[in-house]
Amino acid sequence: MRNDAPIKPLGELADIRLGYPFRGGISEVPGGAVRVIQTRDLSRDGLKPQSDWLTTQMEGRKQPDWLLDQDVLFAARGTHTYAALVTLPPAQTVCSPHLYVIRVRAPQQLLPAFLAWQLNQAPIQRYLRQWAEGSHQLSIRRTVLEGALVRIPPLEQQRTAIKLQRAALAERDALQALITNREMELAMLAEHLLANNYGSHP
């Protein structure tokens, strides 16, 4: 990847805001019309499935700023400062106030998926941790996030990075499935060969 590509502060490339300002805790309402993405739903590999997102109801006349496809979420506080891409969320979806919503202004120049990938890489992570507040529960101020320097290579290179990341995740999932299957086979073998060994003991 070219290292002579333009570099700009994130604040010049995207609008950044905190999630919906819930008052107190978020009440879970099974079958509620509103889905809420929380910090626990983010990981370095992306978001948990939509079926895992909490559902709730909202009161009040003010219409929330719903999440849109290709928004990027970033953990404002917590033990990990991860970013994740939002892909085709349900119509009424918000995120908790512990997350930043990053909306790229010119996605035809900076792919949101590439931005999410770049925010999770070591150079920006080092910068964020350097300026984070707190020790165990890190807190990232918006001005710090806006100051993160983002490289903007040609779109072809951005797509290549995204494709490699997705291939790596698919390979890891496949390997983990093989490991799980092998462990199950060994457990079944143990039951078959060894279960009767203890039948006559008190």
For residue range 57-78, list pLDDT tens digits in order. 987 667 899 999 999 999 988 8
8 within 8 A of 65, measured Cβ to Cβ: no
Average pLDDT, the chain: 89
Q: Region 169-184: what's the mean pLDDT?
A: 81
Does residue 142 have a pLDDT over 70?
yes
Q: Which of 96, 93, 75 minimizes the C-alpha distance to 84?
A: 75
150 within 8 A of 9, measured Cβ to Cβ: yes
Does residue 202 have a pLDDT over 60?
no
Q: What is the identity of the amino acid at 102?
A: I
Does residue 1 have a pLDDT over 60?
no
- pTM of model > 0.85: no
For residue 122, give Cα distances in angstroms to 31, 82, 127, 161.
Answer: 39, 11, 9, 15
